[in-house]
A and B are shown apart, each in its own frame.
Chain A
Amino acid sequence: MNGDIIKKIIYPTVGFIITIFLWDRYVVIFDLSEVVLPRPGIIFESILSEYPALLSEGFETLLACVYGFILSIVIGIPMAVLMTDSKPLNLMFYPLLIATQSVPKVAIAPILLVWFGTGIESKLAIAFFISFFPMIVDTATGLRSTPKELLELARSLKCSYFQIFVKIRFPSALPHIFSGAKVAITLAVIGVVIGEFVGGSDGLGSLLMVANSQINAPLAWAALVFLSFLGIFLYVLVVLAENLLIPWNNTYSK
């Protein structure tokens, strides 16, 4: 137990402090300008003085991420079901699906901006476009990897397609669905920030762009810090949901 605390808390904290210290010394020793790389303390001051703006913009970004993520779930999962259970649909649309992923996401952002405007819609569209793919692929993998013998058991008990889906295939796909969701939430954050870079008028991404254009490096870095906290926060939420909904999945607990 004690060893656990040392490993999980003390070591990472020490590593973090060393990194911050080296960063600070580096800036001082090489006399770097604040625009190139601000000292950690200055970034911290900027966070303290600008936190109302950071929080409210952060909230905009957070909402967009969550909506985009939900979109990729409610659209991605049914699409995965259709594509695993219908051979024709799979043959018709799977290549297209792969093709959409070869398009660089940043390149499609300006087009989506034209379609959806500078509001939250275009951010959602980009977040969805970038995060639905792992959702579909992992859900499909999960639905295809139901243990053969469980399906045989179901058949011997004369289960209907619906019973097999609800009682066996879907629950057995849940661990895969969650691993897709963990990738998707990370990608959703990236998608939203791309959207805010390209044309958003709010959110941490656009705050970062504005700070950059005003050569306010500490604020830009402060936005960056908030963005990474936001990413971690959302990821942890998905992991918590996973532990809550599929406590029987012991891949991480042991």
Chain B
Amino acid sequence: MSAASSHTGPEDPGLGSGTLQNVKKVFGMEGASDLVAVKDISFSFSSGEVISLLGPSGCGKTTVLKMIGGLIEATSGEITVSNSLVRGPYENVGMVFQTPTLMPWRSVISNIKFPLEVLGKQLTDIDDKAISLLKLTNLTEFKNAWPHELSGGMQQRAALCRALIHSPEILLMDEPFGALDELTRMEMNDLLLKVNYQEKNTVIFVTHSISEAIYLSDKVHVFSKRPAEIRKTININLPHPRNPTDRYTDYFKQLELDAGEALGVIR
């Protein structure tokens, strides 16, 4: 991607990379025994990679994601992102949730610029960045619309722009396309990859869809039921850029089978 010369990835290869070392999370419950959400998780990711955390609902994968983002503190173990220890929220992270969570009182463009506003970043090229993101996600003509005037997929695209506006090194996505219909979801998968090829940031993607995880990722960590442990790590050796027909290759099906077995849905 020589066209994206202004954004050829971080200068320091450590930016956007990270490590989780024996991470454990126990939630103290009032009047009940403590809940072990995450038992012992270790993995690492390098800059620009797309990593999926695949597992059943309620298995603790979202907790892992939030710990990487500094929103939840690990009970024990160490998390390092971009060469520094995670001790709380930090700027270089973009978040996309299951629901778009746009602010209904702000126009699309104003929602997208929100992070810059609160981070107090006065980038000279804010508008350029916003415009290029809108273009990338086909939202240019809706930039002044109210969020409720957009479809679910369009809202989620706007949420993706918002997460990327401050050029974070790492993008955390918590089942972002889980509420969309299958066709929209496949479109969003390709869009996310397109964005990733341009922005070069690391993506940590939580999902419970096997094919989505495989299609998007360089590496899929298959989680057990709660308390979360990594059952299996699957390396995805599909060529970049991905092509929708990849989904129907024998290799892809073999990967799906592997993931299904690791999840315990195929015995």
- A binding-site residues for B, Cβ under 8 Å: 147, 149-150, 152-159, 163, 167-168, 171-172, 174, 246-250
What are 13 A-B pairs at a CB distance below 8 A? A147-B99, A149-B99, A152-B95, A152-B97, A153-B95, A155-B71, A156-B69, A156-B70, A156-B71, A156-B93, A157-B91, A167-B117, A246-B105
Q: Check B89–A248 contact: CB distance below 8 A.
A: no
Complex CA–CA separation, A247 to B146 (angstroms): 9
Chain B residues with a Cβ closer than 8 Å to the other chain, count: 25
Q: Given the complex, which residues of A lie within 8 Å of B106, measured CB to CB?
A: 248
Are A250 and B105 in contact (CB-based, < 8 A)?
A: no
Q: Residue on A with the closest CB to B88?
A: A158
- Contact: B118 with A172, CB < 8 Å? no
Least distance between A177 CB and chain B CB atoms (Å): 12
Let me know if B115 is at the binding interface, CB within 8 A: yes
| B interface majority secondary structure | loop
- Residues from chain A with Cβ under 8 Å of B90 in the complex: 158
Q: Would you call A248 and B101 a contact (CB within 8 A)? A: no
Q: Which residues of B contact A163 (CB under 8 A)?
A: 118
Q: Which 3 A-B pairs have the closest CB atoms?
A: A149-B101, A149-B97, A171-B105
Nearest CB on B from A243, distance (A): 13
Residue in chain B with minimal CB distance to A175: B104
Contacts of A156 in B (CB 8 A): 69-71, 89, 93, 95
A154 CA / B117 CA spacing, docked (Å): 11
Nearest chain A CB to B75's CB is how many angstroms away?
Answer: 19
Interface: B123 (CB within 8 A): no
Is B103 an interface position by the 8 A CB rule? yes
B242 in the interface (beta carbon within 8 A): no
Nearest CB of chain A from residue B119's CB, rounded to whole Å: 6
B148 at the interface (CB under 8 A from A): yes
A172 touches B115 (CB 8 A): no
- B147: which A residues are within 8 A, CB to CB? 248
Known: A157-B119, A159-B118, A167-B118. A248 touches B99 (CB 8 A): no
Question: Contact between B105 and A157 (Cβ–Cβ < 8 Å)?
Answer: no
**B91 and A248 contact, CB distance less than 8 A:** no
Q: Given the complex, which residues of B lie within 8 Å of A171, measured CB to CB?
A: 103, 105
Nearest CB of A to B167, in Å? 14
Please tell me if the beta carbons of B115 and A157 are within 8 angstroms of each other in the complex: yes
- Neighbouring A residues of B93 by C-beta, 8 Å: 156
B71 touches A157 (CB 8 A): no
